[in-house]
A and B are shown apart, each in its own frame.
Chain A
């Protein structure tokens, strides 16, 4: 017991959760392996990827040191800052690929929506956590508003993928805090008409096209259906054992679009087959299980709700990305978490895991005392 106790103390002291850290490390090693193949063995790309990965780890280590109580103190300014920047983006944002998502800070470009990925669940968790659970109707209305405003702002950029992630992160807080099943049932009933209204008034033409393509990709094999068809061919032709690392013809011969970012799962499936897919999903499941375990054992309602919401949002990344590249969901620009090449989203995710680790170690400190 003593040795175990001592060991715990070491992790305790650095505010890290070692099972989670182990799983995350496995993921990053996997990411390096697959990105190397997907980039066509581009070493300069690998260098950039590793640098960002290091940045993400630093963000995680940093966030792990901030106690949940400190977070509670900064949550309102953080949320308001994020909201302000989202509004600023609409007016003075920098456009790229037809979407206005970036804020030019002089030194670097910055996506305010990334802050909101953490600020929104944190704000809702803090607000709901202040009150008795399950929440009252009034608390729920305020909670929804906290979620809805940034979601709409981000969807207008337009960035459907991120707005879905942010909306779900807030909604998960409401679900975990005990939103009554009656209300959940009502929302489910409303989803039909709401979806109809969204289709007609809330979606951009290219977003509609993506949904149509998703419904029947073969209708336009060289146009918008191309991505999905090529992705399914990549996954399917991988078979059980895969074609082998660096041997994926769909990815190496560039039939697969966006293969190092959004479609990296197809590369992995093609080269490592069903074995690779099962391995990946197992690690994801472990991370989610561990995250929820930490949430359940967290000290207070704010910590529980925040850890739980961040964990479930992480799963939304996984589900939306894999669902879209394998043809279950329409194509929305969501990267495969921890695996895809791409800076900001990995930094945000790892910062989120830093918060979860802070919550995990926070609890034990209290238990010890």
Chain B
């Protein structure tokens, strides 16, 4: 071995060599420690702000807190839309490791249908992954207990107590209130466009129809937030600070729930619409469309089965008060009379001979009166109170469509009433231009004659009819029809409706009184006499019966032998008390065997009876 070879060792040289190497080693150590320190200095001093921020981003999460949605009351403070606590099973997709597997297991536990899972997955796709989504809404106590015991198996799943919208009056108010339901992708995109999306970070529902939609901004409130400290598994350890959400404003409606319930009751088993307006301020006292549906079905996501039921031919989803296009029929005769008077075609005394039909010179066609034997000599009062068609055929023929359309536009026909819900149609106030655009046909003088009795191409919504009568009783002053009286937030009360359209002005204001007196007479001795017999207030009004299909020349209208859908609509509009009107009503009942005086006027009677018993008149009528 090498070891055996004797070596002469220079110990001091070796010691020096070692000392040198040790010194080099130490220098090396010092410089490497220097590198470490420089690196740490970079992290802790140079990039301190960056890492500080990232550290806070790690541990601090801002959890948005949804504001409580404003409540909705009727004019007397009866609660119409409230928030009730419910327990939902919710999932934050981001926190679930294997979503499909977890869903499968949880559905065994809580009986969640495939449909619900499908809808839930749809929701996830449409929303951010960190936003919690409802998997199953409204768990009962047993389900809450079952899940709570197994909660540890399902990270990312939790039971959340939420406030959920509830409409205690169900289908009574659907078309006025509308409803809230789950925010969808399109609405979220719209909110983002309007820069309001952050305000909805914690919100699950949004107004979809009616007042809930129209007043979404007022009802929603302002989102709050909670800064919390979380650990690496996202578990909240403590709350650092809270910024309380600002609850939405409460709305007080002009609706009287009692009157609304009467309206619903009177339209039972029919298709129709009822609206009552306070002509003093345009406040809507009742707005009911039948058939209706339960808005609570939509709040937690309506099942496709239930939804299909709503798509029947009675079309319950339609708000007939604002979207139903009906021929206004004879209810517009008072307005047309005023135009005739204003234009000098007739005077208060003018009498016209009614043989039971009207004919244009040199034309064979006969426009029939509803009384085939005629009303004989009629003046403007009789023409309105007995609803003489021939009288108005003549006026309309002489006026021409342009003058009629212009004048009726001022009463709101052919235009949106501007009521505070979005579901509304303009219906049709026909003109020469309209017909040309719509049918590519010329306007015939015969077309004008039908318009003279609120038929032909002319359609109107019940709210337009009521509004036009409201303008009439206000002698031209326009009071914007509206549903919401005020918005309240704690002590602050905001008036929401101030907008008013320009008034209708007449050359001779006495003409207002002629039309109103004639409507008074209609109730005292005319077509609505029976319906209002014995009323303890002083009503006025106008009946109408609208043909749904045109009757061929020489044929008789026979309700019994008509298809149900082809029967006449019964229409009535009226107001009371005559001297100082406090309520204006308009009623349309579709496809009835009888007309306005037999079907619609009695409904008005019931509404007014209720109204004046609930709000008795201060001075008894003489």
Q: Which residues of A contact B (CB under 8 A)?
A: 130-134, 138-139, 172, 175-178, 230, 232-240, 249-250, 253-255, 269, 273-274, 277-278, 281, 284-285, 288-289, 292, 295-296, 301, 304-305, 308, 312, 315, 318-319, 322-323, 326-328
Contact yes or no, B22 A296, CB < 8 A: yes
User: Are B40 and A277 interface neighbours, CB within 8 A?
Assistant: yes
With A236-B43, A278-B37, A308-B22 as contacts: A319 and B48 at CB distance below 8 Å: no
Chain B's nearest CB lies how many Å from the CB of A105? 35
Q: Output the nearest chain A residue to B41 by Cβ-Cβ distance.
A: A274
A292 touching B25, Cβ below 8 Å: yes
Contact between B17 and A133 (Cβ–Cβ < 8 Å)?
A: yes
Whether B36 pairs with A233 at a CB distance below 8 angstroms is no
CB <8 Å contact, B59 and A236: no
**Chain B residues, Cβ within 8 Å of A301:** 14, 18
Residues of A contacting B37 with CB < 8 Å? 277-278, 281
Q: Is B39 an interface residue (CB 8 A)?
A: yes
Q: Is the CB of B33 within 8 A of A285?
A: yes
Assess A236 versus B47: contact at CB under 8 Å? Given A269-B40, A278-B37, A301-B18.
yes
Contact of A236 with B52 in the complex, beta carbons under 8 Å: yes
What does DSSP make chain B's interface, helix, strand, loop or mixed? Answer: helix
Q: Find chain A residues with CB under 8 A from B30 CB.
A: 285
Query: B2: which A residues are within 8 A, CB to CB?
Result: 131, 138-139
Contact check, A255 vs B14: say whether CB atoms are below 8 A apart: no
Whether B318 sits at the interface, judged by CB under 8 Å, is: no
Contact assessment for B18 and A237 in the assembled complex, using a CB-CB cutoff below 8 Å: no
A contacts with B: majority SS: helix
| 8 Å CB contact of B55 from A131, A138, A178, A237 | A237
A192 vs chain B, min Cβ distance (A): 20
| Cβ-neighbour of A327 out of B19, B35, B39 (below 8 A) | B39
CB distance from B52 to the nearest CB of A (A): 5
Residues of B300-321 whose CB lies within 8 A of A: none
Residues of A within 8 A of B48 (CB): 236-237, 239-240
Contacts of B22 in A (CB 8 A): 176, 292, 295-296, 308
Contact A253 B40 (CB under 8 A): no
Contacts of A249 in B (CB 8 A): 55-56, 58-59, 229
CA A236 to CA B187, docked complex, whole Å:
42
Which of A175, A236, A253 is B231 in contact with, Cβ under 8 Å? Answer: A253
Complex Cα spacing A347 to B298, Å: 70
- Asked whether, in the complex, the Cβ of B19 is within 8 Å of the Cβ of A253, the reply is no
Distance of A134 Cα from B50 Cα, bound (Å) = 51
Given A236-B44, A255-B59, also A328-B36 (CB < 8 A)? yes
Q: A230 CA to B50 CA in the complex, in Å?
A: 13
Q: In the complex, how many angstroms separate the beta carbon of A124 from the nearest chain B beta carbon? A: 14
The total number of A-B Cβ pairs within 8 Å is: 147
B54 on the A face (CB < 8 A): yes
With a cutoff of 8 Å between Cβ atoms, the chain A residues found around residue B55 in the complex are 233-234, 236-237, 249-250
Contacts A236-B44, A301-B14 known; 9 new A-B pairs at CB < 8 A: A130-B3, A131-B3, A133-B14, A236-B54, A237-B51, A249-B229, A253-B231, A281-B33, A296-B22
Query: Could you jot down 27 A-B contacts, CB within 8 Å?
Result: A178-B17, A178-B18, A232-B43, A236-B47, A236-B50, A236-B54, A236-B55, A237-B48, A237-B52, A239-B45, A249-B55, A253-B229, A253-B230, A255-B231, A255-B232, A274-B44, A274-B45, A277-B44, A285-B30, A288-B26, A288-B29, A292-B25, A301-B18, A304-B18, A322-B36, A323-B39, A326-B40
- B51 close to A235 (CB less than 8 A): yes
Question: Is there an interface contact between A308 and B25, defined as CB atoms closer than 8 Å?
Answer: yes
Q: Given A237-B51, A277-B40, do A308 and B45 touch, yes or no (CB 8 Å)?
A: no
Residues of B within 8 Å of A, CB-based: how many? 43
Shortest CB distance A171–B (Å): 11
Is A235 a contact of B44 with CB atoms below 8 Å?
yes
Cβ distance A37 to chain B, nearest Cβ, rounded Å = 15
A132 touches B7 (CB 8 A): yes
A183 to chain B, nearest CB (A): 13
Find chain A residues with CB under 8 A from B233 CB.
254
Provide the bound-state CA to CA distance between A130 and B1, in Å.
12
Q: Which of B29, B47, B54 contacts A315 (CB 8 A)?
A: B29
Shortest CB–CB separation between residue B56 and chain A, in angstroms? 8
Nearest-CB distance from A172 to chain B (Å)?
7
Nearest 10 pairs between A and B by C-beta? A236-B51, A237-B55, A236-B43, A253-B231, A133-B14, A237-B51, A254-B232, A249-B59, A255-B232, A178-B17
Indicate whether A233 sits within 8 Å of B54 (C-beta atoms), given known contacts A175-B25, A238-B44, A277-B44.
Answer: yes
A161 vs B57: C-alpha distance in the bound complex, in angstroms? 33
- Whether the Cβ atoms of A319 and B3 lie closer than 8 Å is no
Instruction: Tell me the minimal C-beta distance from B240 to chain A in angstroms.
Output: 11
Q: How far is the CB of A36 from chain B (nearest CB, A)?
A: 19
Residue pair A175, B232 in contact (C-beta under 8 Å): no
Determine whether the beta carbon of B7 is less than 8 Å from that of A273: no
Instruction: Specify which of A175, A236, A249, A327 lies most central, judged by the most chain B CB atoms within 10 Å of its CB.
Output: A236
Distance in angstroms between the alpha carbons of A322 and B36 in the assembled complex: 7
